[in-house]
Amino acid sequence: MAGQFERMDTENGTGGSASPDTFGRSDEEAEETVTMTPRELLTKLHTAWMNERLAPDLLPPQIEEIECMLELLRNMEVNTAKLEKKDIRLGVHKMEVDRIRYLISSYLRIRLAKIQEYCWDLQTKENTRNSQAPSLMSPEEQKFLKEYIENLESHLKNMGTQHMPRTMQALQPQTMSTSSNLDSFLFLRVSQDSSIIVDDADGREEEVSLEAGSQHIIRYRPVAKLVPSGSVDLV
């Protein structure tokens, strides 16, 4: 029974087997293939979670990695269903699946909360972005945002602005929306030597070099652009 399980695992080529697996993108798009072990994928998702949790604004989505991992989880659940009830591995596998599913759910929830909170601001960003530039949201998140705003605005109009004097009926969402506070202070861990310009509140600028391995307290705005590339991690 145990031997059978192991064989099935390697056959499928999924799950943390000894050899790395290839998670290639579809060949329809001429993109480079990303080779990553499941373990590396999991580490990437952990980092993505932490960054998204701490960043005041919405970060670029890691949707492909999420979808990849969800598929791994599905395969894992299929495989472990074949184990005997008293098999010690069953509990361990189940707990790992629960942990990863929690990680993914939490990540997506954090993003949804930001999308709802900064909805109009994000919509403006989305409408004004260059078609070449990548969106901050996945296509499904964009759809969610659109429907969410439609729902909000139709309600606010029906219950509010429609009953107001003629010239005051424009909703003006920009007066209601909040945009993320880029001036909040954060803790930062530097993974690659970088250098940034920090202005203090008195307007003086100073160049700060961030050495790999160091940690800092700093305002988000000067370092925001370094987060997506991974030169710094929010802590």
Partner 1 sequence: MSPTPEELEFFAGQEELEIMPRFDCPTMWLISGDLGPFKAGIPNKVPLWIALHLRAQNKCKIIPPPWLSKAYLEQLKELEIKSPLFTKMPSEHYMAMAKMIFEVCPQDIPDADCVKLLIKDIWDSRMSKLRTAVLTFIDKGASWAKVDNLTQLEMCSIRPFFTHSLEQLHRFRKTIQVARLYSAGNSSEEVRRRLRM
Partner 2 sequence: MSGMYGEIALELIKELDRHKGKLPPFQENELRQALDEMQILFEQNQRDVSMNIPGNPEFLAALHLRHAALERNKQCILAYLYTRLKVITDLRWDHGPVIPAEVRANMTEQEVQFFANYNKTLANYMGSLGENHGLDLTQDLKPPKTLMVEIRVLQDYGEFELEDGTSVLLKKDSVHFLPMSQCEALVQQKIVEVVQKQKSLHQK
**Binding-site ranges for partner 1 (CB under 8 A):** 2, 6, 9, 15-18, 38-39, 42, 46, 50, 53-54, 69, 72-73, 76, 88-89, 91-93, 95-96, 99-100, 102-103, 106, 181, 183-187, 198-203, 208, 213-219, 221-222, 235
Residue 106 CB contacts under 8 Å (≥ 6 apart), including other chains: 49
Residue 120 CA to residue 178 CA, distance in Å, equals 8
The answer to whether 14 touches 21, Cβ cutoff 8 Å, is yes
Of 112 and 218, CB closest to partner 1:
218
CB of 169 to partner 2, least distance (A): 9
* 25: partner contacted, choices partner 1, partner 2, none (Cβ within 5-8 A by kind): none
Neighbouring C-beta atoms of residue 190, cutoff 10 Å: 19
* 93: partner contacted, choices partner 1, partner 2, none (Cβ within 5-8 A by kind): partner 1
* 234: partner contacted, choices partner 2, partner 1, none (Cβ within 5-8 A by kind): none
* 181: partner contacted, choices partner 2, partner 1, none (Cβ within 5-8 A by kind): partner 1
Q: Any long-range contacts for 60-67 (C-beta under 8 Å, 24+ apart)?
A: 60/134, 60/136, 60/228, 61/111, 61/136, 61/137, 61/138, 61/141, 62/107, 63/138, 64/25, 65/41, 66/104, 66/107, 66/108
* 164: partner contacted, choices partner 1, partner 2, none (Cβ within 5-8 A by kind): partner 2
Q: Which residues bind partner 2 (CB under 8 A)?
A: 66-67, 70-71, 74, 86, 95, 98-99, 101-102, 104-106, 108-109, 112, 116, 140-141, 143-144, 147-148, 151-152, 155-156, 158-161, 163-168, 171, 175-176
Of 95 and 176, CB closest to partner 1:
95
